Amino acid sequence: MGYMDPAIEKTGGVTHESDVYSFGVVLFETLCGRKAYVESEADRFLTPLAKYHYENKTMHDIIQPDLVIDPQSLIKYSAVAYSCLNEDRACRPGMNHIVGELEKALELHLPNENMGINLEYLKNLKIRLTDIIFATDNFSKKYIISSSPCYTCYTAKLKNFESQNHSSVVIKRFVSGQDFEHGEHFVKEIELLTRVKHPNIVTLLGFCIDASERILVLENFDNFFLDYHLIDTKKPFVLTWGQRLKICIDIAHALNYLHSQMIIHRDICSLNIELDQNWGAKISNFDNFIYLPPNQEDEALYLNKIAGRVYYVDPEYDKTGKLKRESDVFSFGVVLFEILCGRVANDSIYETGSAKGLVVAARRSFCAGTLEEMIDPILKRENGENNFVQDRGPNMDSLRTFIEIAYKCVAETQDQRPTMKVVVKELKKALFFQETS
């Protein structure tokens, strides 16, 4: 009762479309949080009630009150559920179409899904605002290590912080106020960092929610962000080619792991790569990450809002809104060229003529066979034969392997780029050539 195709009474027979009708009822049950037939209710049958509210555009009056749902996802979901209940069997959709529409509804909802996360189960990670204020001298500028329009990062020592070996931490303070987007970024990053565990992904140590304050407490890093070693020409330490390769491999491992978990970072850049005391690399700042939808043939999302920094963004994603794992691969390719050339992607040296940014200049030089001229001068000390001296610069086989995979990563289109699994393999090969030369 409440599920049966009404056409059965008229025709005396069933078809595939009879199942479609019943499934439409289940879809509305799921949305409204009630059974198809409730004898004690004034509106005992859900189907006519759901159809009435759909036709009058008042679905919010009957959906489950505590259900958090993206508005566009609700429109897509309720439309396919309603179409299943058509009195005319011939007008009901096939199951292949229904599956496709439900996956689109999921795709629309995923970017906002994590705003409903329950932080109570993480209460052991809560840190008092008073302790954070004391550690940073009320968020004094002298403790700032980086900032963006969304957040400011400080480094400080937390008094009474119980986590072993982490008395010195990074405090990430999101912009205060009622800005929905900043609050969403805060919650998304907590959700991600409590789910993923990888040695090359930054560790969440705690968080603070107090009035309008939204703060993350993260593990500290001793050797700053990667971009510091590309920007500061007076830095006291010079990264060797071997160290640079190991940094690249660390990042590649982390990205390969994220992609295996159906996660796209969307903001890979040298500013979001931290270096620990042993020069190990960790990916940080996950406020723009996104999940890929399950069971989708090409595993892609189509988004109107583009995330990421100008000089690192995948051009196909930027032009079409099509986001894939290969969008992260492109951004990582830009980082590879930064490490090779010893300059950040937006260095003013790459803003001359038609070149706009490091990646454009690197692709052009690669095709002209002159890319070696762009390599960080610190890495090469030339002899009379114009060859690299191996005790300081890269081994030629190592260099060639590195350049080839970096160039493939920054291909114009997504389908021309390698997977991160392939990138890891090639970078390891480049390190092997370097260490055995």
Catalytic residue at 267?
yes
Distance CA 283, CA 256 (A): 12
Answer whether 32's CB lies under 8 Å from 64's CB: yes
* Phi-psi group of 369: left, alpha or beta (phi > 0 → left; psi -120 to 50 → alpha; rest → beta): left
Give the phi and the psi of residue 29 in degrees, each rounded to 5.
Answer: -60, -45
Q: How far is CA 121 from CA 117, 118, 306, in A?
A: 10, 7, 32
Q: How many CB atoms lie within 10 A of CB 260?
A: 11
- DSSP bridge partners of 210: 213
- Sequence-distant (6+) residues with CB within 8 A of 191 are 114, 117
Distance CA 251, CA 279 (A): 12
Distance CA 192, CA 189 (A): 5
Distance CA 8, CA 300 (A): 40
- Residues 268/272/277/280 CA torsion (nearest 10 deg): -10
Distance CA 167, CA 375 (A): 39
Q: Active-site residue among 5, 70, 250, 267? A: 267
- Sequence-distant (6+) residues with CB within 8 A of 280 are 199, 200, 246, 247, 250
| Catalytic residue positions, numbered | 267
